[in-house]
Amino acid sequence: MRKNFQEAIKSFEVGNYNEALRKFNEILKNNPYNKESHYYICSIYRQLKKWSKCKNYATSFLKKFGKDPKILEYLGEVYSFEGDYKKAIEMYKSALKLTSQPEDKNRLREKLEKTYALMQEKKSQLKLAVIVHQGGDTFTDDLVENLSKKIWVKKFVIPTSKITFLNALLKAKRKKLINDNLYKVILHFLGSKLRKIISWADVTWCEWADFLAVTGSYVKPKGKKLFVRLHRYEAFTDIPFMINWNNVDELVFVSQFMKDILEMRGLNLQKVSWRVIYNGIDLKRFQFIPRQKGYNIAWVAHIIPRKNLHVAFEIIKKLSEKDKRYRLHVAGSFDDPMYEIYLKHLAKSMKIKDNVIFHGWVDDINQWLEDKNYLLSTSIHESFGYNIVEAMARGIKPVIHDFYNAKELYDEEFLFSSVDEAVEKITEERYDSHHYREYIIKRGWTLEKQVKEFESLINELVSR
C-alpha cells in the first residue's frame, strides 16, 4: 500500500494527474478512509478546475476527517468560483483560524480581502443564475469563469436527491396519472427553491432542457428572464414537450440540426425565440503539437451503445491486419456491466485484445492526448463532439462517423460511412496538424467567441 501511495505522489508531482488519480482511487478502494488520498484527489481536481468534483471530495473529506485548513481553502475557491462569496469568506475565515504558518495566514488574508472587494463590486453588476443538475455541469464552467468577469454569475448545482420528486412528478404527468391543475400546484410547491434562485437573478440560464427547465418555466416570477440551453439527449425525450415555452425567453441550441430534430418530433417552435450558439473550447488549454501519421488512435466517450465502440473494434481489426502496431486507446467508463462484459469478450473473440487498451475515465484529457495520432468518433449521433474538437486543437487528425447532419459541423474529408472508409482515412498519406487546429478557429468554435455570444444574449434579454 505504501509503495502505491509513493508512486501516486510521484505521478502527482510530475503533473501526470490521470495516473495519480488512478493510483489514489485504487488506494481508496482498499481503504476508503485513507486521508492522504482524499486530500490529493481533491487537490488534483482543484488544479484541473474540475470544481464540482473538488467540492465533492472536499465536503467528503471534512465529514470523514474533520476540519483541515487546506481543504477549507479549496472550498473557499470553489464557492468563489460559484459566485457564493459569503460562503467563500466563511471558508477562508475557518481556514485562517486553523492555520499557524505565517505564509499561509498571509495568503488567506489576501484571499479574504479580495473576496470582500469582489462581493462589493458584484453587487452593482447584472446577476446571472446558472441552474444545472448534479453531474451536468461539464459544459458550463469555462463559460461561468469568463462571464464572471463582467457579470455576477451564481452557479447552482441541484443535487440528485433534491430533484427526485420533480422527476417522479414528470413521469406521473406523462402517464396521465395526475391532471393539469394538480400537476401545476405540486410543481409550484416542489419548485420553491428554483423560484428563489430565479427571483435573485436578472437572467436565469437552465443548462439542459430537462426537469429543472420544466420547473423553472412554471415558477418564473414576472419580470425575470429565463433561457434554456438544449444539447442533444433532451431532444429525444418527452421533456421539451412539457416545458412552458410561453414563459421561456430564449431557447439556445448548440447546432442547427438539433432544432430540426425537435421539429421533426412534432414540437412547434414558431412562437419560441431561439438561436444557435456553437460550443467553443479554450485554445490556451490545448497545446498545439504538429504531428504525423502514427499508430495511436484515441476514442473518447462514455462507453454506451450510442457511442458505437464495436464499430471502432471493426476498424482496429482491419488496421491490425495491415500492421500490428495499431492501438485503439479507449478513454471512458462503462455505465452498464453487461455491456462491459460484452465488449471485452468481443475484443478477445475478434483477436484484438492486444490492440485495444481500456484506460478508464480520464479527467485530464489534454495530457492523455499527448501521444495520440488520430481521434476516432463512431457515435451514431452528436450535437457537437467536444472530444473531436479538443483533439483537433492539439493537432490530431479526426476520423468521424457520418452521423445525421454531421456535415453541418464537419467537412467531408473528416467523415466516414463504412469501416473501409475509416481505415483508408487513417492509413492515407494526408495529415496536416495545422489544418485541423485552424479548422476550429475558422468555424468560430472558440471559447472567446462563445462567451461574446452569451454576453450578447444576456444583455439582449435584459433590454427586452
| DSSP per position, 353-408 | GGGEEEEE--S-HHHHGGG-SEEEE--S--SS-HHHHHHHHTTPEEEEE--TTGGG
H/E element, 216: helix 211-219
Considering 84, 99, 122, which residue would you say is the last residue of a domain? 122
Q: Are residues 387 and 400 in the same domain?
A: yes
Q: Are residues 349 and 379 in the same domain?
A: yes
* Rounded Cα–Cα distance for residues 128 and 244 (Å): 21
- Those residues whose C-beta lies under 8 Å from the C-beta of residue 253, and which sit 6 or more positions away, are 229, 230, 259, 274, 275, 276, 277
Q: Are residues 254 and 297 in the same domain?
A: no
Considering 122, 154, 171, which residue would you say is the last residue of a domain? 122
pLDDT at 44: 97
The dihedral of CA 14, 17, 18, 23: what is its sign? positive
Q: Are residues 301 and 434 in the same domain?
A: yes
Q: Are residues 290 and 421 in the same domain?
A: yes
Q: Are residues 335 and 459 in the same domain?
A: no
Q: Are residues 112 and 137 in the same domain?
A: no
* Amino acid making up residue 11: S
pLDDT at 293: 97
| Domain that includes residue 11, residue range | 2-122
Considering 122, 146, 173, which residue would you say is the last residue of a domain? 122
Q: How many other C-beta atoms can be found within 10 angstroms of the C-beta atom of residue 172?
A: 14
Domain count, the chain: 3
Q: Are residues 406 and 290 in the same domain?
A: yes
* Rounded Cα–Cα distance for residues 287 and 393 (Å): 7
| Residue 367 near residue 390, CB atoms below 8 Å | no
- Those residues whose C-beta lies under 8 Å from the C-beta of residue 319, and which sit 6 or more positions away, are 297, 326, 355, 423, 426, 427
* Rounded Cα–Cα distance for residues 190 and 162 (Å): 9
Q: Are residues 40 and 15 in the same domain?
A: yes
Q: Are residues 210 and 69 in the same domain?
A: no
Q: Are residues 290 and 439 in the same domain?
A: yes
pLDDT at 1: 62
Q: Are residues 188 and 323 in the same domain?
A: no
The CATH number given to whatever domain includes residue 39 is: 1.25.40.10
pLDDT at 407: 93
pLDDT at 386: 93
pLDDT at 52: 96
The CATH number given to whatever domain includes residue 370 is: 3.40.50.2000
Partners of 157 in beta bridges:
132
Residues of the chain falling short of pLDDT 70: 1
Give the SS3 label for residue 131.
strand
